[in-house]
Amino acid sequence: MKKVERINIIMRYINNRARFTISEIMKEFDISRSTAIRDIREIETMGMPLVAEVGRDGGYFVMHNSVLPDVRFTNNEVKALFIAFMATRNQQLPYLKSRQSLAEKLLGLISQNQQDELVLLNQILLFEGTNPHNPDLLDLSDLPEPMLETLIQTLLIDSYLFLTIEEEKGLRSYPIYLLHLYREKSAWFIEGFDLKEEKKTTIPVDRLTDVKSYPVKKRFSKKKILEKLCKQEQAINLVLELGPKAIAQFKKYHPIKDSISYTNPYQTKAILKTFINVNNLEELTEMTNWLLFLGKDIKVKEVPIEVLEGLQKRLCSLLA
């Protein structure tokens, strides 16, 4: 274990104990007495308020209400943090102003040589969605919708929300139980259970004008919501497995509100479960054309017979 890493771990170890001895440090970290003493002295010089107890059974304790001093990073840890910051550029993520201050503090903590390495990484590394003509990590040109942080702060306190949305006909309010908040095609969406319509719905965050907690008296219990969702999921009649090409097509266009669920960490395989109203001719035709749009990179696990018949007619008309 490297010295920097060991000292960081020792600081966390002793900060969580009312009292400790040099012998305990030696045994816990498998180091010599002289090394343990040197590490403790270095931790003291970094600002941790340690008090020594005199006597045969003497040891150390941390003064009450103390906090850990500044954590030191290895070269690879600094690069890992910086690259993580770089990967979030142009992603319209919440708390970007905090990301900017964190990046500034990180640059202020490290040596000039480390700073030079990070500047070079900033010039040569590009991630999906990154604008190569605007490589400055500290430029906040990719701020998200202003309501996003307000939404997050509210849902951290309460999942029952009363949302006001701007639509073509004016403002409309939705009482929902929030299931997920997700980002797709550079936009943020709320997936929730509509407490009035009693069904799952998807709402774009960029249309939000107000968000607040929903009155307790009008709520369903979480158990009841999950039961209703489970019954609705039983009505699913289209199940597809998507490969990477079909996923790319899905991201370009999908007429349904349901989202895909990735089945591997590389996001190259996904599954889609949805419901097609076969009694609605317009919807049936649209879904038939959309399945052809997804291409060959799909495996059909479940599909209504009406959709198969629609696909056959569509293919026959193309061949004719």
In the chain, where the domains are located: 3-62, 75-124, 147-225, 238-319
Q: Give the CA radius of gyration of the chain.
A: 28
* pLDDT band at residue 137 using 50, 70 and 90 as cut-offs: low
DSSP 262-294: E-STTS--EEEEE---TT-HHHHHHHHHHHHHH
pTM over 0.75: no
Q: In this structure, which amino acid lies at residue 267? A: Q
Question: 111 by DSSP, 3-state: which?
Answer: coil
3-62: what fold? Arc Repressor Mutant, subunit A (1.10.10)
**Taking all residues of the chain, what is their mean pLDDT, rounded to a whole number?**
82
- State how beta strands 238-242 and 208-213 pair: unpaired
Would you state the pLDDT for residue 294?
93
Beginning with the edge strand found earlier in the chain, give each strand of the sheet holding 238-242 in spatial order.
Answer: 261-262, 270-274, 238-242, 298-302
Instruction: Decide if pLDDT at 209 tops 60.
Output: yes
* Distance, first Cα to last Cα, the chain: 72
**147-225: which CATH architecture?**
Roll (2.30)
Would you state the pLDDT for residue 244?
92
% of the chain surpassing 90 pLDDT:
13
Would you state the pLDDT for residue 298?
93
Q: Which token pair is 137?
A: 């990590």
* pLDDT band at residue 46 using 50, 70 and 90 as cut-offs: confident
14-38 average pLDDT score: 85
